[in-house]
């Protein structure tokens, strides 16, 4: 069965500092991996996705993520965080059976001045 673990429930970073959100997955085959962001009262927005190929993927809003098969990880990074990045971040894994994504419990990001 596929599953996703986001070890950090809350993370606080200072504006301008770098950010790394952790994601570990469990999936028998090659996974399809995603990062979504949810602002308060909003739906989810796709930041980036990995299907195959280059293990470092670039997304919107200056985010990137690196797929590491040996560590079963897909961590999200941003070199310099902006106050507007404060939101809930979800890592998700999917297979080839359609759109049944399996989401992690999310990491809440707080950005301090």
Partner 1 sequence: KAGVTQTPRYLIKTRGQQVTLSCSPISGHRSVSWYQQTPGQGLQFLFEYFSETQRNKGNFPGRFSGRQFSNSRSEMNVSTLELGDSALYLCASSLGQYTGELFFGEGSRLTVL
Q: Please give the residue ranges that form the binding site for partner 1 (CB under 8 A).
A: 32, 34, 36, 41-46, 49, 51, 90, 92, 94, 96-106
What is the Cα 112 distance to its own chain's centre?
A: 20
SS3 101: coil
Q: Is 92 or 111 the residue whose CB approaches partner 1 more closely? A: 92
Shortest separation between residue 14's beta carbon and partner 1, angstroms = 27
Shortest separation between residue 33's beta carbon and partner 1, angstroms = 9
With beta carbons less than 8 A apart as the criterion, state whether 46 and 33 touch: no
Shortest separation between residue 86's beta carbon and partner 1, angstroms = 18
Provide CB contacts within 8 A for 37, sequence distance 6+: 44, 45, 47, 61, 87, 88, 89, 90
Q: Is 52 or 70 the residue whose CB approaches partner 1 more closely? A: 52
């Amino acid at each position: 069965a596929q599953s996703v673990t986001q070890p950090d429930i809350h993370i606080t970073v200072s504006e301008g500092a770098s950010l790394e959100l952790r994601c570990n997955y469990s999936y028998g085959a090659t996974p399809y991996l995603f990062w979504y962001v949810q602002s308060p009262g909003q739906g989810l927005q796709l930041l980036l996705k990995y299907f195959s190929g280059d293990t470092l993927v670039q997304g919107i809003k200056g985010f990137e993520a690196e797929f590491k098969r040996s560590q079963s990880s897909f961590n999200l990074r941003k070199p310099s965080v902006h106050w507007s990045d404060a939101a809930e971040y979800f890592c998700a894994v999917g297979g080839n059976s359609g759109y049944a994504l399996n989401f992690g419990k999310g990491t809440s990001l707080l950005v301090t001045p």
